[in-house]
Structure 1
Amino acid sequence: MKSKELPLKGKHVLITRGGDQGDKFCMDVASMGGIPHMVPLIDFRAHHDQNAAIFIKNMNQYEWIIFTSKNGVHYFFQQINGKANEHIFHKGNIQFAVVGEKTREALSRYRLPSRFMPNVYTAEDFAREFFNQGLTGKKVLIPKGNLASNIIAESFRTRGFTADEWIVYETYYPTKETDKLLHFLEDDLLDVAAFTSPSTFNHFIKIVGQHHLEPHAKKLLFAAIGTVTKRTIEQAGYSTHICPKNFTIDDMFHEICIFFQQASLGKE
C-alpha cells in the first residue's frame, strides 16, 4: 500500500475523549496509519439537582424537551428511571428537539423521535432555526450539563416563554493520566491534538500552564470539533488548523486525514 493511501502514516494524534467515542477515534486513526494516544481530558457523572423532583412531577406540562448532547439524553433517562410516567413521551404530548446527530441517535435508542434538529449543530443556530421555522413552545425543559450554555433557554425567555434548565450531569477532569500527557508534551511526541469540546481544551491548557509547557504546545497542530471549541482555542492564543463543517468526531477525523493528505501532496 502506498503511503498516500495512509494519510496519517507516522503521525502521532492526541485524542482527548475517552469511552466508546475515544476508542473508535483511536481505531480510525490507526486504520489510516497514525499512532493514537488517548488521554481523556473530560469525563461525566450524574448531577443531583435539588429541583429534580419538581421537574419529574411536572413533566407532562412541558411542550418540548430539548437535548443539547447525547449525555443529556443518557443522564435524563437515568435520572427519571421510571419515576416519570414514561408513557407520556409516546403519546405525543411532548415533542423532542436535539442539537445534533449524535444526540438524535441517543434519543432514538429510547424509541423517541426528534421533531427538530438544526442544520448547524450549535446552540445559536438551534435558537435561530427553531423560531424561523415557526415552531414555538410556551414551556420547555432543557436537561443539560453543568457547563452547557444557557443560549437556548434565553432564546425562549426573551420571547416570553418558560424554559427550565435541569442540570442532569456534570463535567470533570479525570487527573489519572496527567503524567502521560506531560510526557508526550515534554518529548514533543505529538503531531496533532484533537479537541472534542471547549472543556477538553481548557483542561489541556490548564496543564500546559501549570507545567510551563507553552513552547511545546505551540508546536502542535490543533483540531477542533466545531466553532465553539475553535473559538476557545484561539482565545487562548493558539491557532486552529482543522475544523470540520459538521461538528462530529467522525467529521473531525476525516478533516485531519484530508489536512495531512494535502500536506503530503504539497511536498511532492
Structure 2
Amino acid sequence: MILASPSPIGLALGLATAALYGATAAGADRMGRQNTQLLLALAWLLHGATLCWALAAAPVKFGFAPALSVTAWLVLTVYAVESRLYPRLTVRRALAVLGAAAVLLALIFPGAPLPHTASPWLPMHLALGIASYGLFAAAVVHAWLLTRAERQIRLAVEPSTEAAGVPLLTLERLTFRFVTAGFVLLSATLLAGLLFSEQLYGPSVRGWKWDHKTVFSVLAWVSFAVLLIGRARFGWRGRTAKRVLYVGAGLLLLAYVGSRFVIEVILNRGGA
C-alpha cells in the first residue's frame, strides 16, 4: 500500500510536491491552459514519486492523512485521463489546492505502523478501500461540476450545454460510472473484511467487528446502493441523486478517515 514517510527524502519530496501544486493553483489564471497543465502534470508525477518512496520505507505506516493523499492522487489521475478526452474541463486550480493540502497533511500526520501480526494481504485490502475512496471522490467532483454547469446555464444570457467544459449529459453519465465502480470496490472491501478479518488483521481480530469504521462503511454502502437502485428503477437524477451521493460520500469519509483522525489526532493512539 502507498504510505506516508517521515524520512528526510520523503519530507523533501512532499514539500516540493506541495510547492508545485501551490504554484499551479496560484498561477492558473496567468500562465494559460498549456503551462498550467504542464505544471500540474509535474506536480502529479512528483506526488506519485512521493507515494512510491513512502511505499519502500520501513516501517510501513498508514493513517487518515496518507489515505487522503492517495485519494487526491487518484482523483488527479482520473483528471489526467479525462483532460485528454475533454480539453475544456476546468478544475485545475481546485485539484491543485486539493493535492497540496493532502500532501501537507500526510507530512504532518504520517500515520501509524501496520500491525506486525497483519497478513501480507492487508495492504491489498487497504488498497481496495482507498481505490473506492478515489472513485467516489471522482464522482463527487463530477457532481460538483454538474452543479456548477447547471448554475452557469441558469445565469448565462445564452445558455450553453458545455458550461463546465463537458456536456451535462456526459458529466452525469461519468458521475454514475464512478459511483458504480466505487460501489463494486467498496462491496469487495466490506466482503473481504467480513469473511477474512482474522486472516487480514491477525488472530487478535475475530469475526465482524462492529466499530465506528464498520458502521459508517455499511451506512455508506447502503446509501450508494439506494442511489444506484433509485437511478435504475426511478430514474433519479439532478438534485436528488447528488444529495444521496454527498450523504454516502460523507459517511464513507467518516468511516476510515474520520475514525482514524479521532484515534491519531484527538486520542493520540496508533494502530491500523
Whether the TM-score (by the shorter chain) exceeds 0.5 is no
Whichever of the two has the greater Rg, that structure is 1
Instruction: Tell me which protein shows more strand as a share of its residues.
Output: 1
TM-score (normalised: structure 1)? 0.30
Q: In proportion to residue count, which structure has more helix?
A: 2
